[in-house]
A = this chain, B = another copy of it.
Amino acid sequence: MSKEKTNGAKALLDTLMNAGIDTCFTNPGTSEMHFVAALDKSDMRAVLTLFEGVATGAADGYARIAGKPAATLLHLGCGLGNGLANLHNARKARVPMVNIVGDHAKYHVQYDAQLQSDIETVAKNCSEWVKTSQETSEIGADAAEAIKVATREPNQISTLILPADVSWGEGGQAVSDFSQPASPVASDEKVNKIAEVLKKSGKKVAILLGRRVILEDGLMMASKISETTGAKLFTEVFPTRLQRGAGLPYVERIGYLAEMASVQLSGYDHLLLIDAKAPVSFFAYPDKKSYLVPDDCELHSLVEKEEDALKSLQALVKAVGAENTPPKLNEAKRPELASGKLNAEKIAKAVGALLPENAIISDEAQTSGLKIPVNTAGCPKHDLLTLTGGAIGQGLPVAIGAAIAGRNRPVLALVGDGSSMYTIQSLWTIVAENLDVTTVVMNNGSYAILNIELERVGAEKAGAKAKAQLDISKPEIDFVSIAKGMGMPAERVRTAEEFNKALENAFREPGPHLIDAVVPSEYEGFKLKALPYLLNSLDKIPTPIAKALKNKLAP
């Protein structure tokens, strides 16, 4: 540990680097200028964004792939506010992150200058740990605490508020010791009790896997248990990072709509949660259930949030005697390329047919993306990153972070026209950093999902004014022009043949590409009859469930 004293900004940067946090997504202002100046004397990679929501979403995507936090650099309360929606998504996913939010010099606060606001109130919405650093001599220690909170179980978001005078002051000292106790493992007693449930004959058991146990190692263990005990494997509706594809075990995602999830979970006597939450409806609706676990289903949870889920799962494998059971793996299988007028399903087929090895998919395509999972289940191994907190505008920023963390891995960002516009500035950073990100905008001229939601909340007979609130086709958004405006090669396609060719080109040629894919809105006119189609968001459609749903929901 260097005992060298520097200004506060440099001590902070050095502490981050000492902890292995070597990437920072930024949108600085005056109060962060010392941090910016200190970059010249640091190996920190600083990735400039043109909007703070891009910075926070990129830090989220980075941590999901790198398995370690990135830092963000934000400008006072307003910069933090701009970053809030994607911080929310990261918080819900329990993705580690260390935010550095510049503030006025401590003595300047009393004057209530233009940019003065209560940063801590905003930070509390999205951070488990918030501190305003008070002394330059303490900045290293404060940063170390922020890092420790973020990196131990449960991973959390730390927000360190850095007054300008603490940053420019002298006497800062970097910290390099980040030791803390290892996360505990679930007790033998709990593991054995759950093993008994799994081994009990005649009872139907479902296992819901989350976060730490849906990467390859966790999935392999879970599949051994499933093969040994007959338990069914599920994962959450919006997983943080799911490894999937040929050679990996199959796990069924819980459906987005409560109606689907209820059918998926019906008939189980036990539901075992492993680093996952009991399924609840995304929104509440008049006369529909919020809590989706059936009344007569007993709930178990293998780990508390501060426990090591992977090691606990390993103990469970042993306790059920599944160590030597081979996991059941998906076979390699790709769909055929389609032809004719483009629609969302044909896009899904092309993605399934062409996805490169070792790809990362950032999926925020909403209704247009529902057929992606079933068409990519037999693709080469890949990572899927999803909209964990429901705040749209995440897909493009997450792709930035994933591409930087994944180094040479190809990234596919599937976004809607509506969702992409929240953080469209992302395109600039993708180009500035020359990232191998292929962006597919499913352009249906609509907040299509809200057409379903408008009906589901009971507002069935929407008139022109209400419908206008969901219509983003007047003016039509031309994503080719927007992309070119930020230096990104782009093309618009209207047929499957055009799309297939554009996607093939984009995957073959490293670097940024955008495909503006004009598709019909999937649910226009379908109304509630459309619900069975939503089942396609599952990798496979179990026939009895599909039938039950169709009987239940079709008119």
Chain A residues close to B by CB (< 8 Å): 26, 28-31, 33-34, 36-37, 39-40, 46, 48, 50-51, 53, 77-79, 81-85, 88, 91-92, 104-105, 107-108, 111-115, 117-118, 121-122, 124-126, 164-165, 168, 238, 277, 280-284, 286, 290-291, 388-391, 393, 418, 421-422, 424-425, 428, 431-432, 450, 453-454, 456-459, 462-466, 468-470, 472, 474-488
A450-B29 contact, Cβ under 8 Å, with A113-B280, A421-B51, A428-B477: yes
Residues from chain B with Cβ under 8 Å of A421 in the complex: 50-51, 425, 428
Indicate if the CB atoms of A104 and B283 lie closer than 8 Å. yes
Nearest-neighbour CB distance to chain B for A449, whole angstroms, equals 8
Cα distance A452–B112 in the bound complex, in angstroms: 22
Known: A33-B454, A477-B486. 15 other contacts (CB 8 A): A30-B453, A37-B462, A37-B466, A40-B464, A48-B472, A50-B418, A111-B290, A114-B390, A115-B283, A164-B284, A475-B488, A476-B487, A477-B487, A478-B484, A479-B485
Residues from chain B with Cβ under 8 Å of A111 in the complex: 280-281, 290-291
Cα distance A472–B428 in the bound complex, in angstroms: 9
A457-B164 contact, Cβ under 8 Å, with A422-B50, A425-B421: yes
Nearest-neighbour CB distance to chain B for A524, whole angstroms, equals 17
- Which of A77, A84, A485 is packed against the most chain B CB atoms within 10 Å? A485
Nearest-neighbour CB distance to chain B for A291, whole angstroms, equals 6
Cα distance A485–B389 in the bound complex, in angstroms: 29
Indicate if the CB atoms of B39 and A465 lie closer than 8 Å. yes
20 A-B pairs within 8 Å (CB atoms) are namely A29-B453, A31-B283, A33-B453, A37-B454, A37-B462, A40-B462, A46-B465, A48-B469, A50-B472, A79-B85, A81-B82, A108-B290, A115-B390, A122-B125, A424-B424, A432-B474, A475-B488, A481-B481, A482-B482, A482-B486
Residues from chain B with Cβ under 8 Å of A92 in the complex: 114
